Chains A and B, each alone.
Chain A
Amino acid sequence: NAGVTQTPKFQVLKTGQSMTLQCAQDMNHEYMSWYRQDPGMGLRLIHYSVGAGITDQGEVPNGYNVSRSTTEDFPLRLLSAAPSQTSVYFCASSFDGRVKKLFFGSGTQLSVL
């Protein structure tokens, strides 16, 4: 059981480049979300999805796009990378049970030069 899989684990970009962080889960979870973690800031919600075809902005959505065409996949796109987007990115998923705890991927360390 793979759980939540994020790729790549590490990435270095130049300012202005675009890229997509991949996230896939095999648990048939309806809910998926992207967070970024910066020192002293905790995890901040970028975008989230409550099901295929439905996405919404979180706390820090600027500079990021998402789509949810399938239940399994929730890619995060950086359209034009900026140094301020240097961070660790976590994807998480959850099912609609009583607790709704998050299952996390292992994270992507992104550096934008």
Chain B
Amino acid sequence: AQKITQTQPGMFVQEKEAVTLDCTYDTSDQSYGLFWYKQPSSGEMIFLIYQGSYDEQNATEGRYSLNFQKARKSANLVISASQLGDSAMYFCAMRESANTGGFKTIFGAGTRLFVKA
């Protein structure tokens, strides 16, 4: 079963508008972390934002915010004032406990965002 679900394979947004990328997750851990990464066409992976399961406030990093709804197990990424450079693939990821101690991180299938001028 998918642990990280991103239901939007592709999204279009007009430049300067806000966009929400959806992410739901499934874990039995009490302590876990949620991430969003950006992958532009160059292929590199860029960390955007992090939310811990015990963090009471939604995380924000510049134009990025994470809408964390713990009871619904959702961790949506909101990008405000979209820019052409935001066109990229976006991955939701979850850090959870590992069998060997420590942790592991798993990813969703991603959402490709297209920003229109």
Q: Which residues of A contact B (CB under 8 A)?
A: 30-31, 33, 35, 40-45, 48, 50-51, 54-56, 58-59, 88, 90, 92, 94, 96, 98-102, 104, 106-107
Q: B106 to A59, Cβ gap below 8 A? A: yes
Q: Is the interface of A mostly helix, strand, loop or mixed?
A: strand
Q: A51 to B108, Cβ gap below 8 A? A: no
B99 and chain A: residue at smallest CB distance: A56
Q: A102 to B52, Cβ gap below 8 A? A: no
3 residue pairs, one from A and one from B, having the closest CB atoms = A50-B102, A42-B109, A104-B45
B104 at the interface (CB under 8 A from A): yes
Instruction: Report the minimal beta-carbon distance from B42 to chain A, rounded to whole angstroms.
Output: 9
CA distance A97 to B11 in the complex (A): 33
Instruction: Report the minimal beta-carbon distance from A111 to chain B, rounded to whole angstroms.
Output: 15
Q: A106 to B43, Cβ gap below 8 A? A: yes
Q: A45 to B98, Cβ gap below 8 A? A: no
B25 at the interface (CB under 8 A from A): no
B44, B52, B100, B108: most-surrounded residue (chain A CB, <10 A): B100
For A98, the chain B residues whose CB sits under 8 A away are 52
Q: B99 to A41, Cβ gap below 8 A? A: no
CA distance A46 to B100 in the complex (A): 15
Q: B45 to A99, Cβ gap below 8 A? A: no
Q: B102 to A96, Cβ gap below 8 A? A: yes
26 A-B pairs in the complex with CB atoms less than 8 angstroms apart:
A31-B102, A31-B103, A33-B104, A40-B9, A42-B107, A42-B109, A43-B91, A43-B93, A43-B107, A48-B104, A50-B98, A50-B100, A50-B101, A50-B102, A55-B100, A56-B104, A58-B104, A88-B43, A96-B102, A99-B33, A100-B33, A100-B105, A101-B47, A101-B50, A102-B35, A104-B45
Instruction: Report the minimal beta-carbon distance from A12 to chain B, rounded to whole angstroms.
Output: 18
Q: B108 to A102, Cβ gap below 8 A? A: no
